[in-house]
Amino acid sequence: MKDLVAIILAAGQGTRMYSGLPKVLHNVAGQAMLDHVLEAIEPLEPRRIFVVTGFMSERVREHVGRRATCVNQDKRLGTAHAVKQAVPHLENFKGEVLITVGDTPLIRTETLRELIKRRRAHQVAATVLTTELENPTGYGRIVRNRDGTVRKIVEEKDTNIYEAAIREINTGIYVFDCQKLLAALQRVRNNNAQKEYYLTDTIEILEKLGGEVEPVVADDPTEIIGVNSRAELARAESFLRRRIALSVMEQGVTVIDPATTYIDRQVRIGRDTVIHPFSVLKGHCEIGEGAQIGPQAHVTDSRIGAGSRVRFCCIDQAELGEGVEVGPYASIRPGTRVCDGVRIGTFVEVTRSTVGAGSDILHLSYLGDAQIGERCSLGTASVTVNFDGVKKHRTVLGDDVFLGSRTSLVAPVEVESGSRFPHNASLQGTVTNGSAKPAPKARRPAKRK
């Protein structure tokens, strides 16, 4: 939309969060509230997006990067004053301005689109997104004219008893005709309970200037919940998670218990995969089709191939192929690649390693800095001894290696393809077929710095 500009108000500290972090950078469902708002706006393709920053503006600016233009509001003198910071960029702009607050992470693109559509269709000065709440405490109230248009918005602290009883509230999301907004902004004064320049006052001003303001009622009041405290953050989180779970299910994924399943927004899951209870999928995860995830799988920034089954385990920044089994009680740590058909069993930890297709590591093992070939079998309690107290060393196994129980792979070590060792072996240097060649050098006892 070439004739659309968006402004996100995000200068506030969020006093009631009691946090060192700006409010809009607090996470909901795995990403900052501000990111959710940006994600809702971006599909509208506005010609520009402005973010009004103030509290820790550098931090917010850094977070936003190239997604939007940040304008700074030095003193928080109110929402109208915040919008004014973008005015130098809007002087000659003839289109319309979408204004949202930065603390409503559940807002959806379709709702914003509707707000824009209605303003255009009825050629009104502005549209305001409203909703009816059982308990409107804390929000600005919508006072309507007889014909249903908005006469004014009254902030709670400025309401009389009649206005306070109104349950239709201002969501803080509007679309304005740009030039009319600029004219109205010039007239906003701060003679109110909070001595602030209220953006909401522009509505009554527009009315008086002869422009109509149309309310658009959001059917789903959860969509516009504003987050002002940690309790509201948790509430937003639960609504957003429910929404994500629903959309995942609509794409053909079974979520056995959405109430105990935590899926971040960026997670992609193939059809006919089943997510069992108490599972957490965080960050950028990609799960293939027909996989079984959980119960109690904690997966972060990882890929899991089709038909894999992972349960009671942690998988962090790892890549698993197809038909892989992990767990119960396994930890797959960053930098690990597990190829197709591998089985990793109980009390096994793998880090910075590659495990070739079809290999088995089924009980009580540790692999660090290892490269395991295909179809290997590592016996119970086989471990890499990869750290000498100063440096980490590599372990390399060829294909079809069989290691009996309790093998120690004292790195650096290389085991040639097809080698077989009975239990209790301690391998070092380059070894093959059960006959260890002498280790290159005796190791000095490690000294820690």
Q: Quick one: 56 or 249, whose CB is closer to ligand UD1?
A: 56
Task: Return the residues of window 120-139 that contact ligand UD1 according to CB under 6 A.
Answer: 139
Compose the 360-399 pattern: x for residues touching ligand UD1 by CB under 6 A, - for all others.
----------------------------------------
The one of ligand UD1, Ca ion, none whose footprint includes residue 52, by CB under 5 to 8 A per kind, is ligand UD1
| Site membership for ligand UD1, residue 9 (CB under 6 A) | yes
Shortest distance, CB of residue 107 to Ca ion, whole angstroms? 13
CB atoms inside a 10 Å sphere around CB 179 = 17
CA torsion 133-117-226-191 (nearest 10°) is -90
Contact 6, 49 (CB under 8 A): yes
The two tokens of residue 97 are 């301005």
Nearest-angstrom CA–CA distance, 175 and 117: 10
The reply to whether 363 belongs to the active site is yes
Please identify, among the stretches 64-72, 224-232, 271-279, 434-442, the one whose residues bind Ca ion according to the rule CB under 5 A: 224-232
Shortest distance, CB of residue 394 to Ca ion, whole angstroms? 54
| Site membership for ligand UD1, residue 11 (CB under 6 A) | yes
Number of residues that bind ligand UD1 (CB under 6 A): 28
Place of tokens 């779970």: 245
Task: Return the residues of window 228-247 that contact ligand UD1 according to CB under 6 A.
Answer: none
Closest-by-Cβ residue to Ca ion is: 226
| Site membership for ligand UD1, residue 307 (CB under 6 A) | no
| Active-site annotation holder among 89, 284, 363, 393 | 363
Beta partners for residue 54, in sequence order: 56
Please identify, among the stretches 14-22, 219-227, 314-322, 373-381, the one whose residues bind Ca ion according to the rule CB under 5 A: 219-227
Distance of CA 71 to the CA centre of its chain: 24
When binding is defined by CB under 6 A, the residue of 32, 33, 153, 370 that contacts ligand UD1 is 153
Q: Quick one: 82 or 150, whose CB is closer to ligand UD1?
A: 82
When binding is defined by CB under 6 A, the residue of 82, 126, 285, 297 that contacts ligand UD1 is 82
When binding is defined by CB under 5 A, the residue of 136, 226, 307, 368 that contacts Ca ion is 226
Q: Would you call 10 helix, strand, or coil by DSSP?
A: strand
Contact 103, 224 (CB under 8 A): no
Residue 48, CB half-sphere, CA atoms under 13 Å: how many?
Answer: 13
Nearest-angstrom CA–CA distance, 406 and 409: 10
Shortest distance, CB of residue 101 to ligand UD1, whole angstroms? 4
Please identify, among the stretches 7-15, 105-113, 209-217, 319-327, the one whose residues bind ligand UD1 according to the rule CB under 6 A: 7-15
The one of Ca ion, ligand UD1, none whose footprint includes residue 79, by CB under 5 to 8 A per kind, is ligand UD1
Which among 383, 384, 338, 380 has a CA at the least distance from the CA of 363? 380
User: CB within 8 A of 304, min separation 6: which ones?
Assistant: 285, 286, 287, 288, 291, 293, 310, 315, 320, 324
The one of ligand UD1, Ca ion, none whose footprint includes residue 73, by CB under 5 to 8 A per kind, is ligand UD1
| Site membership for ligand UD1, residue 6 (CB under 6 A) | no
Q: In Å, how far are 295, 321, 325, 404 from 310, measured between CA atoms?
A: 8, 12, 6, 25
CA torsion 174-180-181-184 (nearest 10°) is -120
Angle made by CA atoms 387, 332, 248, in degrees to the nearest 5: 160
Helix (H) or strand (E) holding 403: strand 402-403
Which among 24, 28, 2 has a CA at the least distance from the CA of 13? 24
When binding is defined by CB under 6 A, the residue of 6, 38, 70, 78 that contacts ligand UD1 is 78
Tell me phi and psi for residue 438, to 5 degrees: -60, 145
When binding is defined by CB under 6 A, the residue of 170, 261, 296, 308 that contacts ligand UD1 is 170
Number of residues that bind Ca ion (CB under 5 A): 1
> Residue type at 23?
K
Shortest distance, CB of residue 202 to Ca ion, whole angstroms? 17
Question: Taken in order 26, 28, 29, 32, is the CA torsion positive or negative?
Answer: negative
Q: Quick one: 199 or 396, whose CB is closer to ligand UD1?
A: 199
Q: Which of the residues are catalytic? A: 363
Which residues of the chain form contacts with Ca ion (CB under 5 A)?
226
Which residues of the chain form contacts with ligand UD1 (CB under 6 A)?
9-12, 52, 54, 73, 76-79, 81-82, 101-103, 139-140, 153, 155, 169-172, 198-200, 226
